């Protein structure tokens, strides 16, 4: 009987994928509070807030893709 040598890696990838999806949900749910107007930063405008939001979601999407590929081990 042959065992899967990547079983532990798949388990870790599945846990990390779950954590990334949950983190994405929390960021999406609290996006107004996280990316809203900050009165302490007067030079901040809408484009800088949009750019920050784009970067955060891009990192989360790439992490989800990476861990999903690790789970499937393509």
pLDDT of res. 19: 96
Q: What is the pLDDT of residue 1?
A: 56
Residues lower than pLDDT 70 in the chain: 1-2, 74
pLDDT value, residue 40: 81
Q: What is the pLDDT of residue 15?
A: 95
Task: Return the pLDDT at 21.
Answer: 95
Contact 2, 38 (CB under 8 A): no
What backbone torsions phi and psi does residue 72 show, to the nearest 5 degrees? Answer: -80, -20
pLDDT at 25: 95
Residue 36: partners with Cβ closer than 8 Å, 6 or more residues away: 49
């Amino acid at each position: 009987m042959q065992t899967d040598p990547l079983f532990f890696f798949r388990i870790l990838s599945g846990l990390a994928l779950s954590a990334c999806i949950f983190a994405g949900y929390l960021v999406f749910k609290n996006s107004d509070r996280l990316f809203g107007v900050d009165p302490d930063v007067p030079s901040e405008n809408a484009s800088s807030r949009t750019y920050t939001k784009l970067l955060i979601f891009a990192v989360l999407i790439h992490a989800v893709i990476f861990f999903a590929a690790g789970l499937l081990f393509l």
